Structure 1
Amino acid sequence: MDWKVLQGFLSGVNKYSTAFGRIWLSVVFVFRVLIFVVAAERVWSDEQGHFDCNTRQPGCTNICYNHFFPISHIRLWALQLVFITCPSFMVVLHVAYREERERKYRAKHGDNTRLYNNPGQKHGGLWWTYLMSLFIKTGFEITFLYLLHYIYDSFKLPRKVQCDVSPCPNLVDCYVSRPTEKTVFSYFMVGASVLCVVLNICEIFYMIATRVVNRKQHGSIRTASRKVRPEVDCDACKSSHAE
């Protein structure tokens, strides 16, 4: 998987993100993508080749490995990284759509006219798109954490597993290679995922709180302007009566 392409796409999202969104991107790149590429892939590179069982029955080792590891941790994390980063492209596509509308509007009405003050400003439909992307990312994070715990029944890798699946002749003991090292990386990746969930939730509350505050400010300004207008009209009436 070419992670440089993914990094190039997400770097465009950074300029449209809030402070929490920028922290989220930093956590994803430093504590997840970088660790995944540099260390995690190498730790799990020998997982099937060094999965030993105390039997020479043909096919038993492969069957036991597939039984206890239906999907590799490393492939599940790769899918998780792809799924949690894809919703961010919704924001980039929405901004690109706005910029295209802005270009057509200027071509039709002149270069001095503007349809948007800032196509990347999060208001209107773009605000909802950004908020929706946060909910989707949070949902994917929680779903993959649940799948990881559900498939392996724990985030800790055991040193020994017992298997009696056919064609194994009887109850067979199988041994996982480097279980302590893999357990450390598992907890690290799970911790980084939980941190991303917390950041997404904080950003959701920040977006909603900012929207509510802005609405109240605009409402107070409109109310004040409405109170000023009748006084001006009354003064005009008094002057007209005086004349």
Structure 2
Amino acid sequence: MRIRVLGAAVTGALALSALAVPAAQADTVEGDTTISNVVVNGGKAVVVGATATKTISVTFKVTDDSGVKDAMAILWHGSDFDNSDSGAVATGNDGYASCTATSSTTANCKASYEIEPQYNAVNAVAGTWKVWGIASGKDADYVQKDNVKTFKVQRLSKLTANASPEPVKKGKTITVTGKLTRANWDAATYSGYSGQSVKLQFRKKGTSTYTTVKTIKTTSTGGLSTTVTASADGYYRYSFAGTSTTPAVSATGDYIDVQ
């Protein structure tokens, strides 16, 4: 599949035209229209796997003393909106948000978006994205802002752990191996995440809390391997705290029977 990256600046210009407001510089306000309470994906980071399209929603409130006419939000990534290197326009409704009046001056608006690997999700754009917003009142007042909200778009992570041998005699050496991978949007697969600090943790049988035993780093292929001394029955796992581009993840604990 040919990788395509959707730039938001073009769609921003289309939004201005669609809303029939004058061409505007960044963060332009004419009149008393406001956009507030912007929430992306329920307030959670947008975590996208290697192949499946992720559908998310954005909600926000618009106010204008004459009533709300139209509103639109565009998701974008880049140093600035005019030079954005990826983005997403709302699906359906010609890119408009669906706005429901809650009073004569206020409306709650909502729109859905798709983040698709090898289209608008490529490895280079993982991290912080922004929401471009525009809304107009029935009296032709409007507000347009390049960044009404920031949010994270991250590459889904996976982590494994395997402790051996099992069973093992008390005082003997246990080897715990594993691997940290994350979605490679460019290749539509999962690739090792190298050079990352990962905690080896242990939970004693009959307890509910993991404690950190040591911290090691992943190899160039995302591999993990370290040794510990067998002391008690329990579960070993690896735990990764995450980065700006990749969410935190913990492996399923692997049980060791110590005899």
**TM bucket, shorter chain:** under 0.3
TM-score (normalizing by structure 2): 0.20
Q: Which has the larger radius of gyration?
A: 1
TM-score (normalizing by structure 1): 0.21
Structure with larger RCO (C-alpha < 8 A, sep 6+): 1
Structure (1 or 2) with the greater strand fraction: 2
